[in-house]
Amino acid sequence: MLPIVNKEKTTALIKEEAKRLGFLSCGISKAAFLEEEAPRLENWLNKNMNGQMSYMENHFDKRLDPTKLVEGSKSVISLLLNYFPEESQGEDALKISKYAYGQDYHHIIKSKLRELQEFMTATIGEVGGRAFVDSAPVLDKAWAAKSGLGWIGKHSNLLTQKVGSFYFIAELIVDIDLAYDTPVTDHCGSCTACIDACPTQAIVEPYVVDGSKCISYFTIELKNEIPTDVKGQFDDWVFGCDVCQDVCPWNKFSKPHSEPLFNPHPDLLSMTKKDWEEITEDVFRKVFQKSAVKRTKFSGLQRNIKFLK
């Protein structure tokens, strides 16, 4: 039997605990079918903008309806965790996305979500549900926007006026009713900085990114050889790409994170282009031992580095 809860009081307690655990913000929405996103996702897939990310075609219904993903679910709790670094790589370096500077975020966030679930059970009673960090068919940006944590920018990332977009998004989908937040307004205005700056013109129109043209796709998701028609367009990126976020005016307000596990390996920030080009498997293991960069494996990183030459 589900616990009887005071929605407002319980929601306030959950948000307070989320803050204590280090989350930037917490927003909550009703678990229901995402009507607006359904045609957009279908259109995006029909145009093959997912490239070889065939997993995006799986579980279409579950991706749009959390009640089909988590039985009995009533609320989606969305959480943001800042990863903006205090120091970035120097000019004379091959570049990786800032989110991969430190340890793999999946494990760090999952641990925090478990703590939040345990807190809810201890405070409210047995709460059923599941935690998600990039690991299942959940449209996390859509849920975060629906929960009032920001708006989807023209580069298709979640944006907030106070801290920009350098943060991870995670969810707890739970079987209790809570007090729900409302979306915020779009503040991109007439700005096209992200569209104009994208090295591979992957932002094909405002709010639409062709995933199969994105540098992140080529350097992380694509397992085959990188097509030669994009040679010379990578702007020294070898794992992911932050260009659309780096040029966004709202990221002037990004503040350094306070999570020690997201701090880069000491050797990373001192690596020059020459160090990157001569990287050995031992150095790869040492510097990226716990980083998301391990996803590409050493051979994948070598492929990306060679492609720049």
Q: Check whether 2 has a pLDDT greater than 60.
A: no
**CA pseudo-torsion sign 271, 275, 279, 280:** negative
Candidates 61, 92, 134, 186; catalytic one? 134
The whole-number pLDDT of residue 60 equals: 87
For 89-126, b/e burial (b = at least 16 CB within 10 A) is beeebbbbbbbbbbbbbeebbeebbeebbebbeeebee
Tell me what percent of the residues of the chain surpass a pLDDT of 90: 90
The whole-number pLDDT of residue 4 equals: 53
Q: Check whether 196 has a pLDDT greater than 90.
A: yes
Report, as an integer, the average pLDDT of 135-148. Answer: 93
163: DSSP letter:
T
pLDDT, tens digit, for every residue of 213-260? 999 999 999 999 999 999 999 999 999 999 999 999 999 999 999 999
Give the residue from 60, 15, 82, 114 showing the smallest Cα distance to 258: 82
Give the residue from 176, 22, 30 showing the smallest Cα distance to 111: 22
For the chain, domains (ranges, CATH) are 7-87+101-174 (3.40.109), 193-253+264-307 (no CATH)
CA distances from 1 to 5, 72, 124 (A): 12, 12, 12
Length of the chain equals 309
Contact 154, 195 (CB under 8 A): yes
d(CA 98, CA 164) in angstroms, rounded, equals 14
pLDDT, tens digit, for every residue of 264-306? 999 999 999 999 999 999 999 999 999 999 989 999 999 999 9
Give the residue from 291, 288, 292, 269 showing the smallest Cα distance to 280: 288
**Identity of the residue numbered 207:** Y
Query: pLDDT band at residue 1, thresholds of 50, 70 and 90?
Result: very low
Helix (H) or strand (E) holding 116: helix 105-124
Q: Helix (H, G, I), strand (E, B), or coil: what is residue 264? A: coil
Pair type for strands 208-209 and 203-205: antiparallel
d(CA 145, CA 149) in angstroms, rounded, equals 6
Query: pLDDT band at residue 3, thresholds of 50, 70 and 90?
Result: low
Q: Respond yes or no: is residue 229 known to be catalytic.
A: no
Average pLDDT, the chain: 94
pLDDT, tens digit, for every residue of 103-135? 999 999 999 999 999 999 999 888 999 999 987
Taking the model in full, what pTM does it have? Answer: 0.94
Chain Cα centroid distance, residue 203: 17
The whole-number pLDDT of residue 85 equals: 97
d(CA 219, CA 240) in angstroms, rounded, equals 6
The whole-number pLDDT of residue 136 equals: 79
Please, which residues have CB within 8 angstroms of residue 158's CB and are 6 or more apart in sequence? 80, 141, 144, 145, 149, 150, 151, 152, 165, 167, 169
